[in-house]
Amino acid sequence: MIQAENVSNLIVNRIYGLKMGIKRRKTRVVKVGNVKIGGKNPIVVQSMTKVATTDVGRCLGQIRRLADAGCGLVRLAVPTGADAIALSKIVAKSPIPLVADIHFSPRLAIASIEAGAAKIRLNPGNIKDRKDILRIIDAAKLHGTAIRAGVNEASIRDLKNEVVPEAKRVSLMLREIKKYVRLFEKRGFTNLVLSAKSADTVRTIEINRAISDTFDYPVHVGLTHAGLPEDAKIPSAIAIGTLLAEGIGDTIRVSLAGGSVEEVRFGLRILGSLGLAESDEPELTVCPTCGRCKVDVVRLAKQVKRSLRGVSKPVKVAVMGCIVNGPGEAQDADLAVCAAMGKGYIYRKGKKIATMGEDELLDALTAEIKKL
Amino acid sequence: MIQAENVSNLIVNRIYGLKMGIKRRKTRVVKVGNVKIGGKNPIVVQSMTKVATTDVGRCLGQIRRLADAGCGLVRLAVPTGADAIALSKIVAKSPIPLVADIHFSPRLAIASIEAGAAKIRLNPGNIKDRKDILRIIDAAKLHGTAIRAGVNEASIRDLKNEVVPEAKRVSLMLREIKKYVRLFEKRGFTNLVLSAKSADTVRTIEINRAISDTFDYPVHVGLTHAGLPEDAKIPSAIAIGTLLAEGIGDTIRVSLAGGSVEEVRFGLRILGSLGLAESDEPELTVCPTCGRCKVDVVRLAKQVKRSLRGVSKPVKVAVMGCIVNGPGEAQDADLAVCAAMGKGYIYRKGKKIATMGEDELLDALTAEIKKL
């Protein structure tokens, strides 16, 4: 039997030869500049600039801050010809590939492709003439530009241009996307990412499951118009998290009526929670406390968190308040403290290394943290 | 074709006769005092008291605040005989059924059942003697007490009492639970809720999927030892949200190293995001803004949110910054504003009712909100 205390769980799992974690659904690889979306490539976090694209300086500032935060692709709205011209200047200086957000105008789609957008986001449903869509596809093919073809729940209508009841929207969105894919494939274009956006958590999950069941193109996942950050974060975590946990999603965007960098950080936290992104931050496991607990675990945990500031390694630290699960959680932690029955225990890699008074725990753990 | 603008979506969906939303997996109904868990009963949000159970007054204060917040069941730790005696006093005055949290001691399990706990939480793995488990089961049967039988990842060991590698834990937890269920069923006891807790998001999802695939007993879902609220909320929303979105979970507990009421509020928000709990709070849809946006949508949204304070109806309000999705989102909203191309538009139930200058939007919408 392996001495699990002495080797990391990862190694143990390798020895056992067992797969763990989320099995991502198989998708094709789509190239967006030097970023690859789909297949086994890391899930790309996206965001958008939130100032006029004509404001080249501020856009570049936002893009650089986003790239620093871990953003892999940035989208910019291109609602006018002036924005397309500005886009070419921004592309020239951007540290990461850019996506042009296009609505209604085939002219601006083609101008954005020529301006060097690595991908354009297109809702083919709002380009009226089929011939125009084919012209856009041809331009994208010529320039090696990827296309995100998608539909937004807010834009779907029935044949009489009337509002579609909620229960029919998922199937209608899927029908639209099928139509687009047929059009693209018929033109020999497969550098395609698919998306369907809704402000509703459940329908977002349902339409993306349906897309993923139907196609093997990479899927762009996110909740749209989710609201102010305090309202939008929970439904976004649930919608994006559920899909990722089911193996769906090759690129994500958290949509917040707030800062772009906040969108990226939150997206990375969703990925991190599911083991889909690496982290260089310590992880703090804390018991929720109950009637068994004789010390102020929450206070101790906050103090430990303060001691962990400045540690930029993905270490696991556990702060536990009783013997029921304390020693168990300690096994998985690089360092753990457990306060139980009037005594304090310190664990390193699951091994008890010291016993002391409860009031000495913090200092002892802080000393151990410094050794990390 | 139905004039969808004039009838609520719910009615339209009824007319269309289509089912929407999450399909919950079929589970048996378990009675916990006057609360029913499982089947088509509403998903019950739980929490725990966070002071010594012997402190009857403070426990009752916490329980009342939890019940007011929407908590359906409260669990209390019973680590000593004095706690069991206190429990009987708390049961007598509690507005909602109580659950006794038992570890190691068959004596305290039986004392808690006799004290009037509506359910006990038992980890049969930490009751050494099989005969003792049977005595507990018999006592629960006699008193009509439900049992949550569960396992905690931190407590599982292999046959040599050694740490189990992560990749083997889900199958080992399931094996344990199968063993418990066999024991309970053999004794003719089926008033059973199952649970398996882990501090890991992905394994929490996996073990609960496995439990739900294997049994039709109601499932208690939650992430354990998730940490301080700022760290615990995202993984909790993802783990619990994913399972609920897959139809799994009849009762949930958000475990935060923080206040119990915060646990309940957060649990209810998870349910609300998935349409699994009713809300009497307004819902604010806001576009995330981009380069197309010519007004300060975030500022406007914050002002609208302030105007909505005091409104305790589940109205939907949308604040949108351009014409791409503005009118579309307006369709689903009771009220909407859309600022686009230098003008402001107000929508009521999807119908444009006024056009004005952008700077007049807030006052006009506030006046509409007052009419709600």
Contact B226 A256 (CB under 8 A): no
| Phi, psi (deg, nearest 5) at residue A238 | -70, -50
* pLDDT attached to residue A21: 84
Q: Pick from B233, B305, B329: which is nearest to A228 by CB? A: B305
Under the banding of pLDDT at 50, 70 and 90, the label for residue A278 is confident
Contact B4 A162 (CB under 8 A): yes
Name residue A99's beta-bridge partners: A75, A119
Checking if the pLDDT of B15 tops 50, the result is no
Under the banding of pLDDT at 50, 70 and 90, the label for residue B341 is confident
Contact B284 A228 (CB under 8 A): yes
Q: What's the complex ipTM?
A: 0.92
- Specify the domain boundaries for CATH 3.30.413.10 within chain B: 283-371
Contacts of B18 in chain A (CB under 8 A): 165, 167-168
* pLDDT attached to residue B271: 97
The H or E element that residue A72 is part of is: none
* pLDDT attached to residue A17: 35
pTM of the predicted model as reported, rounded to 2 decimal places: 0.93
Cα–Cα separations (whole angstroms), residue B310 to A244, A348, B91, B281, B301: 37, 52, 35, 9, 16
Between the two ends of chain B, the Cα-to-Cα distance in Å is 29
What is the chain B residue with the closest CA to A58? B291
Cα–Cα separations (whole angstroms), residue A56 to A14, A50, A92: 49, 12, 11
Cα–Cα separations (whole angstroms), residue B181 to A272, A353, B147, B188, B234: 34, 38, 11, 10, 32
pLDDT digits (tens, 9 = 90+) for B276-286: 998 888 999 99
How are strands ordered across the β-sheet holding A283-286? A283-286, A316-320, A335-340, A343-348, A351-357
Tokens of B314: 């589940």
Contacts of A221 in chain B (CB under 8 A): none
Checking if the pLDDT of B309 tops 60, the result is yes
Would you call A230 exposed, middle or buried from its count of C-beta atoms within 10 A (0-12, 13-18, 19+)? exposed
Distance CA B67, CA B106 (A): 29
Tokens of B297: 């949508």
Under the banding of pLDDT at 50, 70 and 90, the label for residue A340 is confident
pLDDT digits (tens, 9 = 90+) for B90-138: 999 999 999 999 999 999 999 999 999 999 999 999 998 999 999 999 9
| Phi, psi (deg, nearest 5) at residue B89 | -70, -40
Cα–Cα separations (whole angstroms), residue B258 to A127, A238, A301, B49: 51, 21, 10, 11
Q: 3-class DSSP state for residue A316?
A: strand
Q: 3-class DSSP state for residue B3?
A: coil
Contacts of B273 in chain A (CB under 8 A): 201, 234-235, 238
Checking if the pLDDT of B62 tops 60, the result is yes
Structure-derived torsion over alpha carbons of residues B93, B253, B267, A235, reported in degrees to the nearest 10: -170
A84: which residues sit within 8 A by CB, 6+ positions away? Answer: A78, A100, A108, A111, A112, A115
A54: which residues sit within 8 A by CB, 6+ positions away? Answer: A80, A82, A83, A86
Q: Scan for tokens 């199937």, then name that residue.
A: A171
Contact B202 A238 (CB under 8 A): no
Q: Pick from B101, B228, B285: which is nearest to A302 by CB? A: B228
DSSP A314: -
Count Cα neighbours of A361 within 13 Å in the Cβ-side half-sphere. Answer: 28
pLDDT digits (tens, 9 = 90+) for A220-257: 999 998 899 999 999 999 999 999 999 999 999 999 99
pLDDT digits (tens, 9 = 90+) for B166-185: 889 999 999 999 999 999 99
Contacts of B266 in chain A (CB under 8 A): 234
- Specify the domain boundaries for CATH 3.20.20.20 within chain B: 4-273
Contacts of A22 in chain B (CB under 8 A): 202
B40: which residues sit within 8 A by CB, 6+ positions away? Answer: B24
Contacts of A256 in chain B (CB under 8 A): 288
pLDDT > 90 fraction of chain B, expressed in percent and rounded: 80
Structure-model confidence comparison of residues A160 and A37, the more confident one:
A37
What is the chain A residue with the closest CA to B234? A237
Q: Scan for tokens 């630290």, then name that residue.
A: A317
Contact B154 A331 (CB under 8 A): yes
Contacts of A199 in chain B (CB under 8 A): 285, 329, 332
Contact A228 B76 (CB under 8 A): no
> Which range has the top average pLDDT, A152-161, A290-299, B50-59, B335-344?
B50-59
Distance CA B25, CA B256 (A): 27
Angle among Cα A278, A282, A284 to the nearest 5 degrees reads 120
Under the banding of pLDDT at 50, 70 and 90, the label for residue A280 is confident
Contact A328 B155 (CB under 8 A): yes
Q: Among B254, B308, B324, B338, pick the best mutation site for testing chain A contact (most A Cβ within 10 A).
A: B324
- How close does chain A come to B310, measured CA to CA in Å? 17
Count Cα neighbours of B326 within 13 Å in the Cβ-side half-sphere. Answer: 22
* pLDDT attached to residue B9: 38
Contact A286 B227 (CB under 8 A): yes
| Domain B4-273 listed as CATH 3.90.1150.10 | no
Structure-model confidence comparison of residues B9 and A322, the more confident one:
A322
Tokens of B124: 């049969």
* pLDDT attached to residue A20: 62
Tokens of A100: 């042009």
pLDDT digits (tens, 9 = 90+) for A7-18: 333 333 333 333
Structure-model confidence comparison of residues B21 and A98, the more confident one:
A98
Contact A187, A159 (CB under 8 A): no
- b/e B133-168 (16+ beta carbons within 10 angstroms → b): bbbbbebbbeeebbbbbbbbbbbbeeeeeebbbbbb
Cα–Cα separations (whole angstroms), residue B94 to B84, B102, B121: 15, 19, 18
Name residue A98's beta-bridge partners: A74
Choose the CATH number for B283-371 among 3.20.20.80, 3.40.50.300, 3.30.413.10, 3.10.20.30: 3.30.413.10
Contact A291 B5 (CB under 8 A): no
Contacts of B166 in chain A (CB under 8 A): 9, 12-13, 20, 332
Contact B52 A291 (CB under 8 A): yes
Checking if the pLDDT of A343 tops 50, the result is yes
- The overall average pLDDT reported for chain B is 92
* Nearest of B123, B48, B122, B115 to residue B83 by alpha carbon: B115
Residues for chain B: how many in total? 372
Contact A69, A182 (CB under 8 A): no
* pLDDT attached to residue A8: 39
pLDDT digits (tens, 9 = 90+) for B240-264: 999 999 999 999 999 999 999 999 9
Query: Residue A62: how many CB atoms within 10 A of its CB?
Result: 23
